[in-house]
Structure 1
């Protein structure tokens, strides 16, 4: 019932504005659309709800127990007339609907009773019944015996104006609205106002086509003698004949009076803010939890307008970040060639401007880490797939998670299939893949994906091929480690911060730790300062482990060699090959610079920089005696032997 009351209120607003300000104007066409749009708007505006957000903080109440027993008393429900209103309404709805159907049936019987003749798009029906001329859609019914030839000409022009302008639609719409809102007296006045304005409009059309106004006015007066009218039709005569004649003599309204139609806007706005609001309570604690979640979004030249709108909604709802974009220009391939993106939250703002250079924009990444937001370019020629590093909620050095984005930034889009080295993995498992361990990525879409993987590939397939496991440059865990040598059972690592804390991930069970030949427990090993460690040897299996160290060694042995304070023994520090070339500051020796041997040939430090890490098969380090024995005195500071892939 609330909906019906709101609908009735809006019809009253439109009717009062029309009656007070617009009825006397000669803008008959504009009045027609004002009234019919008011009738339709009345049923739509109550469906619009304006949310009013109210923040609150939950209060935890203490538990209170009552010793007094609760007594349930049965109370009689008092009589309330409001409980019977729905029955009254539906009774009236049925009665007026029945009346409407009977009127339609009566109208149909008049139309089909006599033969019609077609004239252009009109169907003219001559009848002998004592009824007023009327039109219904493209049918025009009239009794030619009531009029002279000249009068009949005016009558037909009037009815043809009703037909050509589709006035029957207005009549039906208002009639249906009157049935639904039958209890509202203003809807019947509204119905009458629409019919009256349609007569003004038809009269105006006839006057524009005839040179003698008086003859047309006499015809109007003559029709007053015949009072029988058909419901649901546009009749030539109605009881407001005097007003119709007055409007024929009224001067044309000034164009400045059109401003009166705008009076309905503040009235509707006031109604919306007064009756169509809904309080939405927002938990401030939940809001804080949402805003602290980190995110990153990749923007590429292929983003559609709908995806940009999705990004805007998701950032607002999930991160409380306002995202706006402007200067959006696309080329003939529907690629973005210009875009200005602005991001703003309560802590700050950032803007990324890609001006129009008549070329597709380069990919850029919007990111939020803790309370910091920013945007940065993505250096890659592949826009189909990017491996994006995104910091965790509590970022620490060398700790990253990997996220794959294929031009679709949110999980609301059906995810593709992921295959790693020929085996299907979940979208969660792919986050554990380090970008440095990827050899290549192949993206299949549409028909190609379905042909290879069947129906499950309809959302696309991402094939990931990892680097060979024998590569000494492979990153073995989720943390960047500096692996410079590897065999089947042993991995050698030098100068790695926090490496001991991460070694446990390589063992199913706890290994034993050997420090300079002495067994120590795991807690002591993890408390060691890694800068005091010369080397770490991790042995997972081997027949002689138990024989040498006892049953405790069956789960593996971590052998740690500490540095000697006075030792001049050179050591190697290798930071993972994440750059495009080996840089000299990544390889350091105590006691002087080493020599470099590439495939058996000595090279200079400058030549070393030109070597691409992905071309390296193995790297071997010789120290002190071993280096001097093989390369003589020039190897006293150490030798690094590099073998490239063939």
Structure 2
């Protein structure tokens, strides 16, 4: 549902972009054919451009990334989610309900027209079929059919047919089908309704120009337009003869040359397209590996071992991606986290390295990297009911000593890590090496784990320990 809603939102923004450009710069111009191409382009763009996503590469320094640590640690702790799909389902349901309403409205209207065709007299003029019917108080075209009232005089019918045949000859029905499709799925977007008006109005300008070229009496043609000015429903897939009949339509019938510069106005949309694509682009983080001076040299790529890139995906047992999984190269500070699709990538990994995958509530996975194919890691939930704390394997391989643990600024026994429930933790940060020693002194030479709890956390009665003791 998230993808569906995202598509509708992006589609609405694309249509609004083209609609605003047309309204501000093009609606009063007399190059009607160029305007039609512009409006058509806007409709096609609103349907196709949401399917295109560009990626921007963002380089992240591994030294500043909290998940880059020499020990495998839970990368994030989140509260129990309620139901993230609930509001998406409601919104998607509203969109679909509205779309179905307008779809069936068009279907019923089309059935009414087809019924009128079966019950009326039809005259053929070339490929155009003239339907003389009393079912509609106005004249209009519907694909290759032209509806006229049989009470009209023959000369009036000729002028009306000349106008409507222009709609048919120029395949204006294609534009109408597209905009009705878009209006069905974007019925909540005001621009979709305004865009439909722009298209129909431009069609009338094109048909008027064509009809005036074939008529012997332009004044009589304009008089017929006024005589046809009656109320009635707008046919979704048809062209009413007197649609948008106002002073502006008569003004647009006059010939007026347009300079080349003015015809360049539609190009204004191109930089705006680039801006919108940039706004919709998705960031792709690439972590710059940083070698810790305290890391075991035997595991470092600097020892001359061949290094390669590793890509893969982390999923749950049900196959769903696991976003935010910590992936660490054991014994180094090189690491990353899986993105919203569960994907990850690590560069310059030694062939003898070991990857450690960890996430709160799931069993830690240790595995050798695979360079020849995309790795797929399945994280299994930790079913041990009592083990609800944060598990940190933090033994220093060189000295056998444990790092310092600070909870809300107070030093605590190392074992307190496994007594704090995940839902009580606001954040976890691990410092080691020079950065830890500079801030906390020589006592932090084996590293320091900083835990910040939530206000609702109720600490145990563990005493503050002597800072000179080793753990």
Distance 2:96 2:131 in 1: 38
Is the CA contact (8 Å cut-off) linking 1:221 and 1:241 kept in structure 2?
no
State the distance in 1 between where 2:52 and 2:233 align.
44
Residues 91 and 230 of structure 1: is their aligned pair in 2 closer, same or farther, counting only changes over 3 Å? closer
Aligned residue among 95, 98, 102 for 1:92? 98
State how far apart, in whole Å, the 2-side matches of 1:188 and 1:2 are: 20
> Once the two structures are superposed, what CA deviation does each residue of 1:254-302 show, in whole Å capped at 9, x if it has no partner?
232111010000000011112233325366699x9469xxxxxxxxxxx
Which residue number corresponds to residue 17 of structure 1? 21
User: Secondary structure of the residue that 1:124 maps to in structure 2?
Assistant: strand
Q: Distance in 2 between matches of 1:8 and 1:225?
A: 33
| Equivalent residue number for residue 110 of structure 1 | 116
Partners of 1:108 and 1:224 in 2: CA distance:
24
Structure 1 segments unaligned to the other structure (5+ residues):
292-410, 412-646
Query: Conserved in 2, the CA contact under 8 Å of 1:56 and 1:284?
Result: no
Other-structure match for 1:180: 185
Contact 1:135 1:159 in 2 (8 A): yes
Distance 1:7 1:106 in 2: 31
In the TM superposition, what is the alpha-carbon distance from 1:128 to its structure 2 partner? 3.0
Tell me the residue number matched to 2:42. Answer: 38
Match for residue 337 of structure 2? none
2:252 is aligned with 1:247 = yes
Superimposed CA distance per residue, residues 38-76 of structure 1 (whole angstroms, 9 cap, x where no aligned partner): 01111211222222223457675233789xxxx998786
SS of residue matched to 1:281:
strand
Which moves more between the two structures, 246-255 or 202-211? 246-255
Counterpart-to-counterpart distance in 1, 2:71 and 2:17: 52
**1:48 touches 1:276 (CA, 8 Å); kept in 2?**
no
Q: Deviations over 1:558-597 (max 9, x none)?
A: xxxxxxxxxxxxxxxxxxxxxxxxxxxxxxxxxxxxxxxx
Shift of 1:248: 1.2
Residue 271 of structure 1 is matched in structure 2 by 276
Confirm whether residue 135 of structure 1 aligns to residue 111 of structure 2.
no
2:264 is paired with a residue whose SS is helix
Q: Which has the larger radius of gyration?
A: 1
List runs of 5+ in structure 2 lacking aligned partners: 291-300, 310-371, 373-471
C-alpha contact (below 8 Å) 1:103/1:232 kept by paired residues: no
Measure how far apart 1:238 and its partner are: 1.9
1:463-478 paired onto structure 2 within 5 Å: none
Counterpart in 1 of 2:57? 53
2:208 maps to which of 203, 213, 217: 203
Map of 2:166 onto structure 1: 161
Name the residue aligned to 2:71: 63
Q: Would the alpha carbon gap of residues 290 and 258 (structure 1) be closer, same or farther in structure 2, given more than 3 Å must change?
A: farther
- The alpha-carbon distance between structure 1 residues 163 and 72, as it changes in their structure 2 partners (threshold 3 A), is closer
> C-alpha separation between the residues in 1 aligned to 2:109 and 2:250?
29
Alignment pair present for 1:237 and 2:242: yes
16 and 56 in structure 1: CA distance in 2 versus 1, 3 angstrom threshold: closer
Residues 136, 149 of structure 2: 8 Å contact kept: yes
- Tell me if 1:215 matches 2:233: no
Query: What is the SS of the residue equivalent to 2:252?
Result: helix
Question: Does the 8 Å contact 2:180/2:236 carry over to 1?
Answer: no
Deviations 1:594-628 (A, max 9, x none): xxxxxxxxxxxxxxxxxxxxxxxxxxxxxxxxxxx
Give matches, 1:364-383, under 5 Å: none
1:220–1:241 Cα contact (<8 Å) kept: no
Change (3 A) 1:173 1:78: closer
Distance 1:219 1:2, change over 3 A: same
CA RMSD of aligned residues (A): 3.2
Instruction: Tell me if the contact between 1:124 and 1:139 (Cα under 8 Å) persists in the aligned partners.
Output: yes
Q: Secondary structure of 1:144's match?
A: coil
| Alpha-carbon shift at residue 83 of structure 1 (Å) | 5.9
Q: Check whether the contact 1:130–1:226 (CA below 8 A) recurs between aligned residues.
A: no
| Length-normalised TM-score, structure 1 | 0.41
| Higher RCO (C-alpha 8 Å, min separation 6) | 2
Aligned to 2:197: 192
Partner Cα distance (1:65, 1:125) in 2: 77
The Cα shift of 1:143 comes to: 1.3
Farther-moved stretch of structure 1 (153-162 vs 230-239): 230-239
* CA pair 252-109 structure 1, distance change in 2 beyond 3 A: farther
Distance 2:78 2:263 in 1: 65
SS of residue matched to 2:146: strand
Write the distance in 1 (CA, Å) between the matches of 2:233 and 2:54: 49
Conserved in 1, the CA contact under 8 Å of 2:132 and 2:149? yes
Equivalent residues, number = 286
Task: Provide the TM-score with structure 2 as the length reference.
Answer: 0.55
Deviation at 1:226, TM superposition (A): 5.9
Deviations for 1:323-377, whole angstroms, at most 9, x for unmatched residues? xxxxxxxxxxxxxxxxxxxxxxxxxxxxxxxxxxxxxxxxxxxxxxxxxxxxxxx
Question: Which whole-Å CA distance do the structure 2 matches of 1:281 and 1:73 have between them?
Answer: 28
In the TM superposition, residue 88 of structure 1 has moved relative to its aligned partner by 1.8
- Listed one character per residue, the Cα deviations across residues 187-219 of structure 1 (whole Å, up to 9, x for unaligned) are 000011100100110001011122422111101
SS at match of 1:257: helix
